[in-house]
Chains A and B, each alone.
Chain A
Amino acid sequence: MKEFKTIAPGEELLNVENVTLRFGGVKAITDVSFNIKKGEVRAIIGPNGAGKTSMLNVINGFYHPQEGRITYRGATRSKMRPHVAAAQGIARTFQNVALFKGMTTLDNIMVGRTLKMQKPFFWHVFRHGPAMQEEIEHRKFVEEIIDFLEIEHIRKTPVGKLPYGLQKRVELGRALAMQPELLLLDEPMAGMNLEEKEDMCRFILDTKEQYGTTIALIEHDIGVVMDLSDRVCVLEYGLKIADGTPEEVKANQKVIDAYLGVAH
């Protein structure tokens, strides 16, 4: 296992260098490089099919790129593995909610604590002795998240019964339960109404402030992206076409063309 370092705020937490990802003959990502600094909100935007979700999948090791290198917390490798990513503090939410529908909100978030469970499996089977003690500590942490996300009223509701906006919130809760270093959010606001979006923005900002989590997010609502993020990376057809602060990106001609279309 490689050495992972503790990164100070403002330093580079993740660096993606010249990554290319191919599915057969299709190039999903072509030679993309960018970095994420500790403590920032980093947005990845781009039109449909630009390779945004693929990029997140590369970061947390679900896809393995054919070329390029990923440096996370000082350790460089050509591909990330999902379990290493999870163990080293990369958590994510999904574009289409991926919760256990039959389980309650509380249980779903408790799942996020699985990797933090230390006590022997034997005790956990009987939910007794040291395992019980451990569970109480984890439950306390989960309750703080429930309080943080203001979902007390649905604590014991099976998530399948919940409206979409709340499910998204529960999913964020599960990711937060992992106490992630880097939180990857794949379209956290898709399909939400204005009020739900505003709530979600507030939770994202509060997460950054309260837990000091670094956040990388994909989002289509440009207004939200520009308000929330410190830096924005723009992809189009698998290529990076712009990178910088929201103001810089907004002024970039290539970005304007990509979004508004251009007469050839």
Chain B
Amino acid sequence: MLSGGVTANVALKKWVLQKKRTLPVETDLGRARVSQDVTANLDTFPKWLQHHERVRPNRPAMRHKDLGIWREWTWAEVAHIVRSYALGLMAHGVQRGEKIAIIGTNRPKLYWSIMAAQMVGATPVPVYADAVAEEMAYVLDHAEVRFACVQDQEQVDKILSVDDRLAAIQMVFYDEPRGLRDYDHSRLQPIDEVISQGEAMTLSDPAAFNRLEAAIREGKGSDISVMLYTSGTTGRSKGVMLSAQGCINAARDTVKFDKLTEDDQVIAYLPLAWVGDHYLNYAQAMIAGFTINCPESPETAVEDRREVGTTFAFAPPRVYEGMLTRIMIRMEDAGALKRGLFHYYMGVAKKWGEKILNGESVPLLARLNYALGEALIYGPLKNVLGFTTVRVAYTAGEAMGPELFAFYRSIGINLKQLYGQTEAFLYVTCQTDNAVRCDCVGPAAPNTEIKIADDGEVLYKSPGQFVGYFKEPEKTAETMTPDGYVRTGDAGFFEKDGQLRIIDRAKDVGKLKDGSLFAPKYIENKLKFFPNIREVVAFGQAEDNVTVFINIDLTAMGNWAERNNVSYGSYQELAGHPQVYEIIAGHVAEVNRQLADEPMMSRSQVHRFLILPKELDADDGELTRTQKVRRSFIADRYDPLVKALYDGSEMADISIEVSFEDGRKGKIEGRVKVMDAKTFPASAVKAA
């Protein structure tokens, strides 16, 4: 009964939203066309904050679920808090132009920290919350941070543990006081206290208040609005400096492109330090005036999204994949009737869903059947996933499997791809609503120019384009072309319909010994589309043929093991199981068959493979914090296994050091089986 109520409620919300959308929406940008654009001169985010305080003081700016209840702050309240916070920071001696670290998960106080820092004229530097102390020390030291705003004891502990290397750090402000009571507070202070100090100053110290007002006025578009550290796929991470005007211009373009208004809802669950969160949630909310909803904890994001009914969603492919895997596993456990209904209507969706979404002509009967499916299956499914009210959903970061992509689109979710970079302040390309395909990332984003270099590298000029890397002008120069384009480092080409297709990192695209093209990521992605495979590392540069390391997906394979009475004690044991090898061999053969079909890639068929006894992990440096494989690092680390792939041996021994979640080190040892894969002659497939 309760869930029925929720469904009705969400459906009502959706209806109201649609109604509102059909009326001429009076947004700031809409109004701009009619009269003088009041927002044209707003070149920094603090100015936008004041603008929202004037234009929509009582609209919700932010929500946070705390103690099981959604708390809400209006734009007027947020503006007031941020002003107090900024005054408090000024009282601590925060200077214009200096960097302030922001470390933690998505919580209002950390977003306010970003706003307050910008208000004072300082530059916020969000840092990945799950970074180990070592990585954090590098960033804090490199950015010359004197002040840090952090979430909790965990982050405080990390900073204190590398204290000896951070000469500059003066004060750490924290959000959650838990566990910190007995700490030495000479250099620690709760954020709440900073805010209340500032609040007291608003009344008692008009001079300080005027200084703050002046600081906001002084802010200009060329100021560095935020500095985001790259995830460091290759080597040390770099501090990408983004200007206020650039950020605002870019966000204005996409707000217009996706017709975002103050009625939109987003859920902020992506890492604060990632450009995606700073752009899609923070910058777009600051322009459009919509609501940022902070989940209770990272684990509750799906449930919380469902409660707020988000309208704009972003998730990397692996999140969509995780959701689909969970649905499929749960459907396997459902009763025969439900399972039958589900599979029947998924078939209907597969046949007609995408066509309906793309506005193509569909027979009436099919439309009616689809509508029935919507009532019985798709609607409830979207409700469970929290996608009922979603108008625009994006994915980016990695290639997404065609079946996965089609699944979401077929049940009526407007899922699109974008391609972007920290250096571009996200958008380089994005797909328009009715021209979506899964193997491409869309045409150039608004006001963005793209050009393909002679070696296939994608170059762009964009409104949000970065100013440079912090303290690394030589690296900035390397990244720019003489005529002012930014190198993406990715190789790609334009399809006939004007959409960009990315194949791989430009520097990773190599050649086999016989000179034929070798694009490792292309092969890896094809294999990763199988739910049983979580991660793949392909080798082949200057070799006779292509070989791969495979990481199985423990959720999917574990589920298979349970159903087939295969017992296993650990990841390592399951990974080495002969039946698992057989399944994976089947997947590899399927990919080889597909590759044999593609003239450019037929030489790239996988000849030998092995399943790694350990999951690749960012803590061991094998993946980046954004979960991309670091190929050369892995090749060094697992050298005996790489050799075994090429010397024809059937077994190989490996012994490697691993770090556990608590920071301790351990060792994994074992014998790994190397298997030959079935390959197909390029011509044979065509004949068949």
Binding site for B on A (CB under 8 A): 139-140, 143-144, 146-148, 150, 152-153, 155, 194-195, 198, 202, 205-206, 209-210
Contact = CB atoms under 8 A, between A and B. Distances in A.
A155 B68 contact: yes
B181 interface: yes
B178 interface: yes
Contacts, number: 38
Contact of B662 (A139, A144, A198): A198
Contacts of B662: 194-195, 198
A195 B66 CA distance: 25
B662 to A, nearest CB: 6
Contacts of B179: 202, 205-206, 209
Given A153-B300, A205-B179, A210-B181, 10 more contacts: A146-B67, A146-B68, A147-B67, A148-B178, A152-B296, A152-B297, A152-B300, A153-B297, A194-B662, A195-B661
Interface of B: 66-69, 178-179, 181-182, 296-297, 299-300, 303, 660-662
A144 B178 contact: no
A194 B67 contact: no
A11 to B, nearest CB: 21
Contact of B67 (A144, A153, A202, A205): A144
Nearest to B662: A198
Top 4 closest pairs, chain A to chain B, by CB:
A153-B299, A143-B67, A152-B296, A143-B68
29 contacts: A139-B68, A140-B67, A143-B67, A144-B67, A146-B68, A147-B66, A147-B67, A150-B297, A152-B68, A152-B296, A152-B297, A152-B299, A152-B300, A153-B296, A153-B299, A153-B300, A153-B303, A155-B68, A194-B660, A194-B662, A195-B660, A195-B661, A195-B662, A198-B662, A205-B179, A206-B179, A209-B179, A209-B182, A210-B181
| Interface SS majority for chain A | helix
Contacts of A148: 178
A108 to B, nearest CB: 15
Nearest to B179: A206
Nearest to B664: A194
Contacts of B68: 139, 143, 146, 152, 155
A210 B300 contact: no
A252 to B, nearest CB: 29
Contacts of A143: 67-69
A205 B182 CA distance: 12
A194 B661 CA distance: 9
A169 B662 CA distance: 19
Interface centre among B67, B299, B662 (most CB of A within 10 A): B67
A146 B65 CA distance: 13
Nearest to B68: A143
A132 B623 CA distance: 51
Nearest to B66: A147
A150 B297 CA distance: 8
Nearest to A147: B67
A169 to B, nearest CB: 13
B369 to A, nearest CB: 34
A187 B299 CA distance: 27
B179 to A, nearest CB: 6
A140 B178 CA distance: 18
B67 A210 contact: no
Nearest to B300: A153
Contacts of A150: 297
B665 to A, nearest CB: 13
A139 B660 CA distance: 37
Contacts of A147: 66-67
A202 B297 CA distance: 18
B181 A209 contact: yes
